[in-house]
Every structure is written in structure tokens, then in C-alpha cells.
Amino acid sequence: VIMGEESQASPQAGNQLEWVIDPIDGTVNFSHGLPFWCCSIAVRHQGKSLAGAVYAPELDELYTASLEAPAQCNGRPIRVSSCNTLADAIVLTGMDKTNDPNIPPLELFRTIAAHTQKARILGSAALDMCHVAAGRAEAYFESGVYVWDVAAAGLICEQAGGQSELLRPLPDHRIQFLSTNRLIHAPLKDLIEGVMVRASR
């Protein structure tokens, strides 16, 4: 059973293995010659990722992990950062273009930027999470990303000692998703949820 951006949906996997594939995550970057794009493949069983690989050709970086193996980049172990305060954290994020009034992308970005060292938009969700796994940033958040963007990289981040969490399911395989170095997960989640609550009033 296959789920991916090109197919948009797959039959119910049931007890079968499900391959979740995104051939190019960061399509706009790719089309403009920017190096921040990647290929992402995960295998899941009943919605849980068992193994994943993310390859960034322009950077020549292959990130891998499984439930039985730690996260690696080009065969070498990687680990999330030890930063434990939001004020010192770099948060990678995206700018969702949805018209959902309950998802205020500009307010989310401003709030994250105001409470962290820096907020950055690099343009590839899967690669962003691999940067978190490698300790280059402390967190990744996006208010509307697709399952195939995070299926592999979310596991890679977890196996590097981080924490990945689906915050809110959205229609058409979209989700709100947060991956962190674990140490700043709770305060960053509280910050994001505070914005969402205010937007829903």
C-alpha cells in the first residue's frame, strides 16, 4: 500500500505495510535551484512509522532511522541539541497558506520569533526535522503540513533523542506537527497552543 503526494491518498492499509513517499519535499526550492530539498520514504504499520530515510541530494546527506536503530546521517550517529531554553533555541517553521481562520500563520511566526533566538523558514519540512535531529536547530513546527512530509523525519528526530507530536489532524492528510529536541517541547507547544486558542475566540 502506498501513500504519497502524487497519489494524495491510499486505500486503508489495515494490517499491511504502508509506504509513505514524498519524491521531492521542498519543490519550490528545487525549482529555483536552492539546495534545501529532499526525498523522503517511510514504512508504516497501522499508522506508526517503523523506518524512514530522508536524502538531500544537494547536501549529500542521507538521514536514516528505524524503531530498532538510532538516527544516523551518512552512517554516523546524530543527536538532538542540549539547548533547554526557548530563548536560546532556533525554531524552523513554514508559512501555511490555508484560509482557515483558526490558523493564523503570521501571528504564529511572530510569536515564535519573539520568544526564541531565531525563527527560520527553509522550505522543506522533512529536511527541517532532520536538522533538528542533527542538533542544528531545536525545533520544527508547521500549522499545516502533509503526512508524507513528516512520516520519515518525525521518526528520525525521535530516534535522535527528540520528540515528535501530531498536534491536530486537518482535512486531506494535513496535520499540525511539532518536532523538538524534547527539552523545549512543552514550553514551545504551550506557546503555539496559546496562539491557536486566541485565534479561535
| Three-state DSSP state, 132 | helix
Sequence-ordered list of residues with C-beta below 8 angstroms from that of 72, at least 6 positions apart, any chain:
63, 64, 65, 78
CA nearest neighbour of 64 among 147, 159, 165, 179: 159
Residues serving a catalytic function are 5, 22, 24-25, 27, 149
